[in-house]
Structure 1
Amino acid sequence: MPVTEEDRKHLHHHHNQDDCMIHVHTYLTEADVADDHQHIITGVSGPAKQKNRSHVHCIHGRTSFISEDCEGHWHAFDIITGPAVELCDDTHVHYFAGDTSICDDHCHTFSGCTGLGPSLAEEECDEEDVEECVEDIEEAVEECEEKACHKPYYKHHMPKYKYGKRPGEKE
């Protein structure tokens, strides 16, 4: 029997809509070339997390596997997107950028843009509020760059990387 909209409301009654805007984004990009090869990075983001007047998403996982001479490797990645960029067709996207873990003495940089998500803009910025809106977005970007992008995703799932190290992580 299919779940009704009313059933869904009861299943998720603990979510505060102000704190949790339930949606995700797809993402697909290629890592930059390092050590004469590159990897594909694809997946689905985590749910939205409110950040000032916008929101961000966690993006984490593993790159595609590269196999050569019966050996191979992949890299882990764990970043936070930038704030939502509203588009004129009532959708939005997020820009993202980061570094993979180190494996076989190299890592890769990558960047991209998520797939489309629904518009969550409650209201446009009034002319007198534009500076405040811009400051909110700049603060969200700075926070992502300063601390959120270095969150150790695998810390609780794997005591040690099996196939690679994060940039700057000691052996």
Structure 2
Amino acid sequence: MEIPVTGYVVHNKDSDSEHSHILYLTSWNGRPIHVHEFSGVTSFDVGHDHRYAGKTEPAPSGVKHVHHYCTFTSVDNDHKHIIKGTTGPAIPLPRGGHYHYFEGCTSVSGLTPHAHQYCGKTGNELDYC
């Protein structure tokens, strides 16, 4: 099954030998795509917590979908964690648009190895372009 996509490619000046370009999609199967911002604070473990913020990966608008996400936490207590996962399905907002619920556990890090729990809701959808 072929799905038509549109977009553009930009040369990545910070490239290595394997990744010299970045692909930006602008539509998926004729539908515009969008992203969501997300942010929050992790659980308090081993005497500290971390803050995090990021944007989801793009997904097509107007159809059932989820988003993948990945970001780093703030550096606290001399270390940081990776936050990575997939949102739940779209939840409609009363005045249009939608948001997604997300939750998970960070990567293990720190002098005393540990992880943190996190959860939240994304912001409303944002045009990707």
Q: TM-score, normalised by structure 2?
A: 0.70
State the Cα RMSD in Å: 2.5
Once residues 42 and 98 of structure 2 are traced to their aligned partners in structure 1, the CA distance between those partners, rounded to angstroms, is 23
Runs of 4+ in 1 over 6 A off after TM superposition: none
* Residue number among 76, 86, 110 corresponding to 1:80 in the alignment: 86
Aligned: 1:16 with 2:10: no
1:30 is matched with which residue? 41
Q: Deviations over 1:39-81 (max 9, x none)?
A: 011011110168xx511111102101114xxxx1000121000
- Which residue of structure 2 aligns with residue 61 of structure 1? 71
Q: TM-score, normalised on structure 1?
A: 0.54
Larger Rg: 1
Work out the CA distance in 2 between the residues paired with 1:21 and 1:62.
28
Q: Percent sequence identity over matched residues? A: 32
Q: Tell me the residue number matched to 1:96.
A: 102
* Number of residue pairs matched by the alignment: 103
The 1:22/1:15 distance shift into structure 2, 3 A limit, reads closer
The aligned amino acid for 2:70 is H
Q: Distance in 2 between matches of 1:111 and 1:58?
A: 14
Contact 1:49 1:56 in 2 (8 A): no
Supply the AA of the counterpart residue of 1:77.
I
Q: Which runs of 5+ in 1 are unaligned?
A: 1-8, 119-171
Pick one of 111, 115, 119 that aligns with 2:119: 111
Residue in structure 2 matching 1:44, options 51, 55, 58? 55
**Larger helix percent:** 1
